[in-house]
Structure 1
């Protein structure tokens, strides 16, 4: 008798898990359930498109291991499917002595993580790679790339159906429970049963886990990231990506410049509390989502520790001029540039009961299902490797 699997969510991680299952177990029954009418509707379809090389992550962590493995798998998949994979490289630029010291520590992590070709340069090296950029020192990551994650997810879904699996849309999953020897998935349009369920629900992961009998934490606190598209005259101002050095006082990276797979140049994202988990335009208010955030004691503990960061990020939310001025610190010739606000992204960030943002991937397994509870950046980069990791656990 064949084994049956249900995957909840058709973002890039859910699609990658479904593809891994149909390829590893050709005789199995694999069904991917997605509440929307298409794949990659939420986080996958609203990110920067960057394939991260693995610079920042704690050596030995799941992020470090799966990011490095994921880069190779993703590059091979794009080549197989003839999808864009622009290996444009990245500079992490330090502007002063303090930031140069932090860069040295990042370089050590990158080397420990096995990032190929990573090296430090001074002002002349910065200009040689990015003539429009300035800085005291920079970390060069030549293997950082940009892709179209939505197109990748569509290709993953096509592989699932080509191998005999199913991707069903309009199936909003409410909870998963164990009944006898099988798991039962309760959806908005009825129930389904399978031998095992893998929940890759992104911003809804905590809700499905809690309804399925899991713990309250980690809970999801959404943060939106606003992007601006630079006017056409500045499309080629950089060859690749220019990032700031992370400040350990703040939980997020800060404004950076990112080339897209189509050659357009964007500035962003910032990071500020989102009023919803899945609304990307206008005020983006969901009373239900906002109430859930404000009712979480961990959120207030986090807020109390990060008020300076909130003030800094609020300025980039309220003022496009301030947003671009932050970018001008690294690329002075952006002075006078104009930009267009484009659809924001929303990061589903897991937080524990103490208000600590969870840095590493969190994957929990109970009797009924495997739940991906935290998979922020580099989740998309790592998606194919995360799929391998989850399927290894499910079948161990």
Structure 2
């Protein structure tokens, strides 16, 4: 129930962590005798997809009574706040897929939003490098895919032309992609939150959803602090989206497998080795892009990530083990099939996780001048990778629905770039359901 209290002035709540703070502003009509915890739509998840969905709902229907529940003490605490800050162009994705469509559409919306809200970003471009001759056909396939996805201004580069973009790179050929950029997605999220609260939406931090039920034409959402009711529930819980989904759709049989991506940073003295972004030609059989170099919007250069199984959904460090979650992963038939298929690659990634020398060797394929002493331990992020029972890793966005629930169960990269387009898709689904129920 919302506490309706009659106050004329605007309330400001500030949540701080690290160097980030977020002001949530809301006008309250307070009446201490009126306590109502009922909403039109409740969204779980304060990452970039949940926030973008809320923003799009309120843009389309400003009178919607909307609440976001986030279990952490800050927004964008997991996938969104621990990624490399790249604005993706749409180069990699299968033409016609939700990834491709939403990336291109979301790219334009993101830049327009940042321009309107004065958020810093830079379209610096990137090169994708074939380091060996046998990668050149894959590189050309990637170029054709980019053309099919509407990218303009790309260039096929010879070995000599690569040096014009990145003088220290090693490669036999490459692609220049001008649309790629860099940004701070946490700053984007905080601005989304500002706009949401200005439009009357509410955001509750430190509230973990523990149960969701559909009952008598309503959704009953229990957190570890309160019980709420809503006409519609939207699950954007990221790393826990499968668990939340099974509260209302027990038949959902995919599982989120957490993969940790670990980064190094180039020392300040060696950051000049990289002008912008340097990527390898990706392995088409593996859902990760391989180690690469990324200049950051706030300065410095990241090198990585690798991709190793995390021993828990929030195990950001090698020694962190959530035994219950690890046993869930290992007992899942789909994961065992994935492990049997990719065990060699997985062992190589794990070895690089514990061996700085091996990590350096992988980076030297792109940038031979990088030495082990040039690398400083950086951060880590965890990717929520959905896996089916048959052992297939879900590559595209995945949404499951009931009459009153929308479960977003796979929103991998480029979800941050595509957030406003994905949010618009989810918002349309949610609002259409509300309208149907009102008829």
Place the TM-score, normalised by the shorter chain, in its bin: over 0.9
Q: Are 2:102 and 1:46 equivalent residues in the alignment? A: no
CA distance in 1, matches of 2:416, 2:205: 21
Match of 1:157 among 193, 196, 201: 193
Q: Give the superposition deviation at 1:133.
A: 1.0
The residue that corresponds to 1:167 in the other structure is 203
SS at match of 1:343: strand
CA distance in 2, matches of 1:306, 1:251: 11
Is 1:173–1:187's contact at 8 Å kept on the other side of the alignment?
yes
The residue that corresponds to 1:87 in the other structure is 123
CA distance in 1, matches of 2:364, 2:101: 34
The residue that corresponds to 2:150 in the other structure is 114
Q: Are 2:237 and 1:201 equivalent residues in the alignment? A: yes
Q: Deviations over 1:210-266 (max 9, x none)?
A: 122332422100000000011001122222111111123444222111111112101
Q: Which one is further off, 47-56 or 325-334?
A: 325-334
CA distance in 1, matches of 2:278, 2:44: 35
The residue that corresponds to 1:324 in the other structure is 360
Q: Give the superposition deviation at 1:106.
A: 0.6
SS at match of 1:306: helix
SS at match of 1:359: coil
Q: Deviations over 1:22-66 (max 9, x none)?
A: 121111111111011110011111111111101111100000000
Please show how residues 351-366 of structure 1 align to structure 2 within 5 Å: 351-366=387-402
Q: Give the superposition deviation at 1:205.
A: 0.4
The TM-score with structure 1 as length reference comes to 0.97
CA distance in 2, matches of 1:6, 1:117: 42
The residue that corresponds to 1:275 in the other structure is 311
Determine which structure has the larger strand proportion and give its number. Answer: 2
Gaps of 5+ in 2: 1-37, 433-439
SS at match of 1:225: strand
CA distance in 1, matches of 2:204, 2:193: 11
Q: Are 2:204 and 1:187 equivalent residues in the alignment? A: no
The structure with more radius of gyration: 2
Is 1:58–1:64's contact at 8 Å kept on the other side of the alignment?
yes
Is 1:176–1:369's contact at 8 Å kept on the other side of the alignment?
no
CA distance in 2, matches of 1:325, 1:284: 26
Q: Which one is further off, 120-129 or 346-355?
A: 120-129
Gaps of 5+ in 1: none
The residue that corresponds to 1:147 in the other structure is 183
The residue that corresponds to 1:135 in the other structure is 171
Q: Per the alignment, do residues 252 and 377 of structure 1 end up closer, same or farther by CA in structure 2, a change over 3 Å counting? A: same
CA distance in 2, matches of 1:299, 1:336: 33
Please show how residues 242-321 of structure 1 align to structure 2 within 5 Å: 242-321=278-357
The TM-score with structure 2 as length reference comes to 0.87
CA distance in 2, matches of 1:70, 1:214: 31
CA distance in 2, matches of 1:200, 1:328: 38
Aligned CA-pair RMSD: 1.5
Q: Give the superposition deviation at 1:78.
A: 1.5
Is 1:209–1:215's contact at 8 Å kept on the other side of the alignment?
no
Match of 1:9 among 31, 40, 45: 45
Is 2:279–2:291's contact at 8 Å kept on the other side of the alignment?
yes
Q: Which one is further off, 332-341 or 29-38?
A: 332-341
SS at match of 1:322: helix
The residue that corresponds to 1:230 in the other structure is 266
Q: Which one is further off, 364-373 or 219-228?
A: 364-373
Is 2:259–2:310's contact at 8 Å kept on the other side of the alignment?
yes
The residue that corresponds to 1:105 in the other structure is 141
CA distance in 1, matches of 2:68, 2:126: 35
Is 1:121–1:139's contact at 8 Å kept on the other side of the alignment?
yes
CA distance in 2, matches of 1:43, 1:352: 21
Is 1:62–1:361's contact at 8 Å kept on the other side of the alignment?
yes
Q: Deviations over 1:311-355 (max 9, x none)?
A: 221221011121122111111221354222122100000000011
